[in-house]
Structure 1
């Protein structure tokens, strides 16, 4: 039993999970990083290609609505109404973690989802990265199919 638990934990952090990918044509189109349509802002959420937590899939929501499920080296994009506050959330070990953005119309925002250790399994968190780092990540990673989360919506009320 003393060997079993470390083996399970090791697999959790170094295995490899996958999620459905968007078509290569759509991925290439999105990677052009065109400016958002009038009045909107674009939020890109990506997960690095790190092997840490590679066996885990983690949900991402924008304003409580499912964006999709991430795996290593994947990203999503969603246009949102500009000049408003928006909340990006990710599934973590016990409850979602949230990042609030005050967006401006016409701008692009890049959010990195990263895996962190937890008590039972790895959790996830979010951080905003600068334009240069975000664009580099999007160029390297694959666009995942949007719309599949463990829950289609989450409650953003902070109790």
Structure 2
């Protein structure tokens, strides 16, 4: 009996659900067309599909401005100015992770937000993925509403805190 109770609690912890505000289906379907962004801009998709940390919602910032909260099976879309560096940050409530990106005009960038286990706890992270990989994952996600973050933005202390497009994370 104790084993069943323990397994039930563990399952709930690992698979919890997000209760974030979700965009209207018509807006989601438009974003899923993966159309080219407006002139002078690049598209940025950030999604989360990992079951690890599913009950946790994290803030996403672009250049210090709140994009919104992301949770399990949720994606966000925005356009960013092309041809310049941007810092995408995520907060898991304890630490910030920063990723520097630079997009070309008319291109879409796809970032996968995920949790990985550390020595003492799991922490949020991001990696760039291909359009083919993202396209499959995005179909399974709802589109989150932008503009609300729980934690105040904390800028990186120095350049060494910022990583450049991690395409091969250790999961």
TM-score of the aligned structures, taking structure 2 as reference length: 0.79
Give 1:127 shift: 0.4
Query: Does the 8 Å CA contact 1:13/1:122 hold for their aligned counterparts?
Result: no
Matched, 1:47 2:38: no
Shifted more, 13-22 versus 107-116: the winner is 13-22
C-alpha separation between the residues in 2 aligned to 1:86 and 1:7? Answer: 42
Q: How many residues align?
A: 156
C-alpha separation between the residues in 2 aligned to 1:66 and 1:13? Answer: 27
Shifted more, 110-119 versus 66-75: the winner is 110-119
TM-score of the aligned structures, taking structure 1 as reference length: 0.85
5+ residue gaps, structure 2, are 162-171
C-alpha separation between the residues in 2 aligned to 1:123 and 1:89? Answer: 13
Query: Does the 8 Å CA contact 1:18/1:72 hold for their aligned counterparts?
Result: no
Paired position in structure 1 for 2:33: 32
5+ residue gaps, structure 1, are none
Give 1:94 shift: 2.8
TM-aligned CA distance change 1:13 to 1:93, over 3 Å: farther
CA-to-aligned-CA distance 1:45-100 (integer Å, 9 cap, x gap): 0000x332111111111111111111111100110110011111111353210111
C-alpha separation between the residues in 1 aligned to 2:48 and 2:68? Answer: 12
Query: Does the 8 Å CA contact 1:43/1:77 hold for their aligned counterparts?
Result: yes
